[in-house]
Every structure is written in C-alpha cells, then in structure tokens.
Amino acid sequence: MNINPANPVIVQGDGKVLLETRHPRFDEARDFLSRFAELEASPDLLHTYRITSLSLWNAASAGMVREEIVAGLRTMSKFDIPADVLRNVDDTISRYGLVQLQPHPIDPSEWIRVGFKTAYIEKMVRKTRTAQDIMVPDGRRYWRIPAGMRGIFKQRMLLEKWPVEDLAGFLPGDPLAFRLREVTLKGKKFLPRDYQNDAVERWFMAGSPAGGHGVVVLPCGAGKTIVAMQAMEIVQQHALILCNNQTAVNQWVEELADKTWLRRDQVGSYTGREKKIRPVTVATYQVLTWRRSRDSDFEHLHLFRDHNWGLLIYDEVHLLPAPVFGATAELQGRRRLGLTATLVREDGREGDVFSLVGPKRYDVPWQVLEKQGWVAEALCFEVRVPFTRKARDRYERAGKMEQHRLAAENPRKLDVVLDLIERHEDDNILVIGTYLNQLHTIADALDAPLITGETPQRERDVLFREFREGTIKRLVVSKVANFAIDLPDANVAIQVSGSFGSRQEEAQRLGRILRPKDHHAHFYTVVTTDSKEQEFAIKRQLFLTEQGYRYHIEERAAK
C-alpha cells in the first residue's frame, strides 16, 4: 500500500475526493481537481469533490486523458486510489469519442455519418434504443442519421452513457466583416485580457471540427461579452445573441457599438419592444418562448431558422429555457457559444447543455482572477436576525410555504439594512430582494428608487444610468437585476430575500459588485435566525464557497 500522509487529498471508494484547504499544495490540488471533478461542499478545513460522468466527459472534451488524471491523483493522494474509482475513471472517460459524428461524404446537407472506434463499440451502440430509432444503414459498412436529428441523437445517446464527439462540422453562415476596436468610442484603449484570449482559443480549437461549440465559464464581471465578440471576430459571420432580458439586450447593443467597428444599422434587437433582424441580432429568451396559450405554438422560434446564422451565442446559458433547447437541437450545423458564471442548473439539465450547446471549454475560478486584479475582492457576510416573539409564534403556526415568506419579510431586517447603509454611507449600494411589499417598504425608508418587473424599461435605463454616473448612490432592485446588469461602480450589495436555495441567484447577485475596484466589495445576506430561510441560505452560499469565498457571520440580538 502506498501511504503518504503529507499529501493533501483523500480519494474515497464512492468517487468523493477530500481536499485539505490549509495544505501548502491546496491551490495546485484545487486547480487540478476542478478540471475533472465537481465541487460539492467547501467548509473551512475540508473541501469535497465528486468525480461524475459529466465532469469526466467535459475533461475528455478538453483533451484530458485517463493517465493524466490517475497520475495526478497518485501524486496528491494520502493513500492508494480505490480500485473502483480507477475502473470508473477508465470506463467513463474512455467512452468519450467512441461514437463520433462525421461529415457525410456524399450528401452532408441531408445526412451525417456515425463513426465508431471499433466494431465492438458499433455492435454495443446498435443495441441502444436511440440507435434503433434514428440510425440507418449507409451502404454496407457505415451508418448515418438525418442531419436534422443531430442534436436529438447526441442528447439521447448521452442519457444512454455514450457521449458523442461531434466532428460533423458547421454550415457557413452569411459573411460579416467584424473587427474589434483598439480604442473604444468612450476613448479608452481596449485590449482583451490573456484569459479571454485563452477562453476563445479553447472554444475555437484553431477551427478544427471538434471546436466551434461549447461553453465558457467565467465569473461575473470578468468580461464574458468580450469573449463572445472575439468569437464573432474569428468566425466573421452573422450572429444571433440570446440573453435574459431587455436591459441585457440594451447593454449588448451598447457594447457592440463601443468596442467593434459595426455600424448601428448592422445590429438589431428582437424583443417585445422591436423586432429587427440584422447581421448581428440580440434577442431575449422571453420573446422566443412567448406563445398565446399553453397549447399554442412558440411564435418566434422561427428566428432561428429564418436567417443564415453562422454563430449562436447563449448568454447566461444556465438559464436556457426548455423550448430553446428544442430549437438548439435542430441547429447543430451552426457554431454555438455558451456563456455563464456557473453551469449549475436548478432543473438538473446540465447534460443537455453539454449535448446541445457543447462541452465546457474553459473555466477559471473567481479567486484566480481576483488575485490578478481582474475582479474585485469580495467580503461576504451573513447577518442573522431573530423574529420578535409575536412573529415567531406566527411563524411556528404557519405552513411551509408561508414560513419561508414570513422569514424573508421579517420586519426586523429593515433595521439591519439601515445600519448597513450607515456603515457604508459613502459607497454605491444595491439592496436586492424578491418580495415586492418588502422592497417598497425598504425603498420608502431609504428614500431610494425602486426597480421591479413593473418598472418601464425606459425608466429602468435612466435609473441604471444615474447609478452608474453617481447621481444616485442607493438603488433597491427586485429579481430583474439578477442578470446582465452592468453597474461597475456598485461595491455593496445587501440581499434581503431570495429564491429558496438557488445557487444561481446567489452567484449572480454577488456578480453585481465584482467589477474591478480599488477597494473591497461587500456582499451582505440578511436572513432570519432559526428559520427555513437560514436553511436555504446555506444552500445558496454553496456556489460561492465552492469558489473559495468565506461568509462572516453576524448575529443580531433579540429585542
């Protein structure tokens, strides 16, 4: 038995990997494990990773091989690696690429050839329901699938534990001369950062058939939009950009105007307000998934098919709605780039993102960029507030759903907000919450503007601009500010209520204050002590602690 207690890692037989956080090799081990394992929990002393099929297939798509994983684990592990883990790594990672999609030599617009590494693999795959439903003979020696079934085939084969390597290539979109500026319209010198260059290079893979589709994971504030524009510059074809809301559309249009040589008439918006299709079109997920009734068709999904796009960009890809998954399955002949700060999906459909948008191509932890000065150093706090005795009695008598709301709207949170505002009187502060009555009360107490889903877009744009310019220093916002709101001067966020245990939301709200600054950013979460909300808060913090952030706990005494 090989025993080296000085090493930082313990590999368990169930695929869990434990990592000592205070070990001198912690950073090295964390960076290594993050390439092929998912971080599950990260208390102060011991982080827990899990080696999953999807994490191994993402690693394989990035060029990582079984020998590299096993050798690295052996140099870092305190004990021998369990035989079951070695077998699982070998069996799982070696499956990636055993089935390939290849260009059809005769009719590539109608058919895609299915290739197999060996005759034995062919025999095994042919037994699957997916193969029996979709594959048809292609002469004596080969198999093929209809080009329109490319995405469905990959999606279903993944469920059958056969991750497909897609080498079928892409159809050419309409050409577009696209170039980044060296000096922006705002007069600033513009140069993409090294990690942004690395991200787009790993996505494109020098134009090989294996590249040109996949997901780039970067922290909020790290410039995912720049990565997208670099991809557009490489592809030089018409592009469709999908994002989460009207504000995000406006920001994309502004960024394209500021940092590229596109003319204004070359950029269009396809939203509830206007529907202009241009060489670069920015649309919302909401308009694509709109329909008159539950039984009606999605009236705007034709946007995918009615234009010869060369590149599809999915902003906040972890929010990709189910109907758009369906359209994406039909569009596998187009290059695809997904952008996100986290691949966590609350519906568990990470496998669909892998199949239909592409594998994870690039990922960098927040703290790496924080140390390099590209995102602000954030201090995270959880402020725990007790109920009054009367409110506690009401809470104990309530049902589970009502309990969550009572805890979220605990009136004593207002005192905490006022104290924090006083503590940060010279800072630019966002107060973020979910429940509108609570937000109205806070906005009135602070004499601060409030932005909710009912706020007209024009008014939102004015308020966001005034906040950026420093005309107003306090802004109360609902869930509409969770995503794609560019407020670079915000350096304090106070979260007063959230959506149950959503890790996505926690990460996105922190992201509002992570733009580079000369001083710390502060992120406060105010929760009710000994309540369902406190339980959910632990889940919400998981994604941030996975990235190395620590929460400082403040306890408020009962009155």
The pLDDT, as a whole number, for residue 481 is 64
The pLDDT, as a whole number, for residue 510 is 63
For 330-342, how does the pLDDT look when each residue is reduced to its tens digit (9 = 90+)? 889 999 999 988 7
For 98-138, how does the pLDDT look when each residue is reduced to its tens digit (9 = 90+)? 999 999 999 888 999 999 999 999 999 999 999 999 999 99
Look up residue 211 and give its amino acid: G
Class of domain 375-555: alpha beta
Check whether domain 194-364 has CATH 3.40.190.10, yes or no: no
Residue 469's alpha-carbon distances to 366, 463, 477, in angstroms, are 27, 10, 17
| Mean pLDDT to the nearest integer, 344-357 | 84
Answer with the residue of higher pLDDT: 48 or 365. Answer: 48
Q: How many residues does the chain have?
A: 559
3-state secondary structure (DSSP) of residue 426: coil
Answer with the residue of higher pLDDT: 512 or 246. Answer: 246
3-state secondary structure (DSSP) of residue 255: helix
Average pLDDT across the chain, whole number: 87
Answer with the residue of higher pLDDT: 164 or 532. Answer: 164
**How many C-beta atoms surround the C-beta of residue 264 within 10 A?**
10
Dist CA 547 CA 377 (whole Å): 12
Dist CA 9 CA 78 (whole Å): 6
3-state secondary structure (DSSP) of residue 138: strand
State the helix-helix crossing angle for 400-408 and 532-540, rounded to 10 degrees. Answer: 80
The yes-or-no verdict on residue 269 having pLDDT over 90 is yes
E strand spans, 95-212: 99-103, 111-116, 136-138, 142-146, 164-166
* Number of alpha carbons in the 13 Å side-chain half-sphere of residue 118: 5
The pLDDT, as a whole number, for residue 540 is 65
The yes-or-no verdict on residue 513 having pLDDT over 60 is no
Q: What is the dihedral of CA 403, 408, 413, 417, to 10 degrees?
A: 180
Dist CA 432 CA 441 (whole Å): 13
Confidence of residue 548 (pLDDT cuts 50, 70, 90): low
For 208-257, how does the pLDDT look when each residue is reduced to its tens digit (9 = 90+)? 888 999 999 888 778 899 999 999 999 999 999 999 888 889 889 999 99
| Mean pLDDT to the nearest integer, 309-336 | 89
Span of 76-80, 219-223, 431-435, 471-475 with lowest mean pLDDT: 219-223
State the helix-helix crossing angle for 246-259 and 457-469, rounded to 10 degrees. Answer: 50
Those residues with Cβ within 8 angstroms of residue 470's Cβ, 6 or more apart along the chain or in another chain: 428, 489
Dist CA 484 CA 554 (whole Å): 30
Confidence of residue 546 (pLDDT cuts 50, 70, 90): low
Answer with the residue of higher pLDDT: 449 or 348. Answer: 449
β-bridge partners, 329: none
Query: Measured at the alpha carbon of residue 229, what is the angle toward residues 227 and 232, in degrees to the nearest 5?
Result: 115
The yes-or-no verdict on residue 501 having pLDDT over 50 is no
1-5, 83-87, 403-407, range with greatest mean pLDDT = 83-87
**Domains of the chain by residue range:** 9-93, 99-166, 194-364, 375-555
Confidence of residue 44 (pLDDT cuts 50, 70, 90): low
Q: Which two tokens stand for residue 423?
A: 């503590």
Look up residue 520 and give its amino acid: H
The pLDDT, as a whole number, for residue 386 is 92
For 385-419, how does the pLDDT look when each residue is reduced to its tens digit (9 = 90+)? 999 888 899 989 988 888 888 988 999 999 999 99
Answer with the residue of higher pLDDT: 511 or 241. Answer: 241
Q: Structure pTM?
A: 0.78
Look up residue 264 and give its amino acid: R
Phi and psi at 544, nearest 5°, equal: -70, -40
Q: Which two tokens stand for residue 130?
A: 């997916």
161 contacts 169 by C-beta, under 8 angstroms: no
Confidence of residue 48 (pLDDT cuts 50, 70, 90): confident
Do the domains at 194-364 and 375-555 have one common CATH topology? yes
